Amino acid sequence: MARGTMNHRFIRILRLYPLALALLLGVAYLLGGFSNRPDAVLPKNVTYTMLTIFMAVVPLAFMAAFLVIGNSSDRKFLQNLRGQDGFDYGSAFDLPSEEMHGFKIAQIRGKVPTLTGLTGDPYKADDSAKCELNPEHVPPVKGCQCGFHAFKDRDEAAFELTLHPKTFLLDVDLFGLGFVYSRGYRAESQVVNQLSLPKRCMNCKVLPVSRFISRYQFGPEYEGWWQWEVRCVICSSVTPTKNRMEIADMQRALGISFLKD
């Protein structure tokens, strides 16, 4: 199992801890674990022992697991950095080759819908990377983060959707000069094959999606932009008609096909 996938599954398990604690408290209460009755099914001292273990030992175990996973990730990160020093080839044609197919997440921004990375950089469905920090760079460049990034594992990219709401999952192919890492790629150019459309409304999370709507968002230092979300019929009905777009129209605007997850 990939390290990133293992980390994500561990975090999903951790999210169940509050629910498990509430369930334990409810069962203990129903069994008389908090009463002083001598005929209680669950004695009070047993209840307190169980809760102490669950509320103290289990979190400590999670903390220890996080330390182990964090140290492992740090070692892998340093290994990747050291590995970058190995890209000293006499010719670009001597670089090892690998078909670079991956997955990533992106926003859709602008009054004219445009795919936009989490860094705020817009790109087309078929595009070449540009370095915003150094115009002399032809991405990707060792020691800089310029270039198109993508995960190898679809599950890793899909997990990022939970950390970045209002984003979409993309299936991409990367071309040109590229760096290959344990979890993904960084390359010179990119073609977006498909956008995965969520089944449920981004607002209510219940009803099926119907159309796109655009809302004005404010970022740091009052920087603003129009951001597109996908919503159901009810949640999109309060949005002015001029700020709505049908799914088929959005496909044509972006120049890529959509797939419902």
**pLDDT given at position 86:** 44
Confidence of residue 55 (pLDDT cuts 50, 70, 90): confident
The CA distance from 129 to 188, in Å, is: 6
**pLDDT given at position 85:** 44
What is the share, in percent, of the chain residues with pLDDT greater than 70? 82
**pLDDT given at position 73:** 57
- 216 is written with which tokens? 């004005």
Single-letter residue type at 54: F
> What tens digit of pLDDT does each residue of 32-42 get?
888 887 777 88
Confidence of residue 3 (pLDDT cuts 50, 70, 90): low
Q: Which of 46-55, 83-92, 204-213, 216-225 has the highest mean pLDDT?
A: 204-213
**pLDDT given at position 70:** 64
> What tens digit of pLDDT does each residue of 191-201 get?
999 999 999 99
Q: What pTM does this model have? A: 0.69
Per-residue pLDDT at 97 exceeds 80: no
Average pLDDT over residues 25-30: 85
Per-residue pLDDT at 124 exceeds 90: yes
Per the rule left: phi > 0, alpha: psi between -120 and 50, beta: everything else, 221 is: left
Per-residue pLDDT at 256 exceeds 60: yes
Q: For residues 63 and 91, which has the higher predicted lDDT (pLDDT)?
A: 63
What is the share, in percent, of the chain residues with pLDDT greater than 90? 44
In terms of Cα–Cα distance, which of 136, 176, 183 is closest to 159?
A: 183
Indicate the DSSP class of residue 57.
I
Q: For residues 61 and 206, which has the higher predicted lDDT (pLDDT)?
A: 206
**pLDDT given at position 93:** 47
Cα torsion 182, 86, 190, 167 to 10°: value is 40
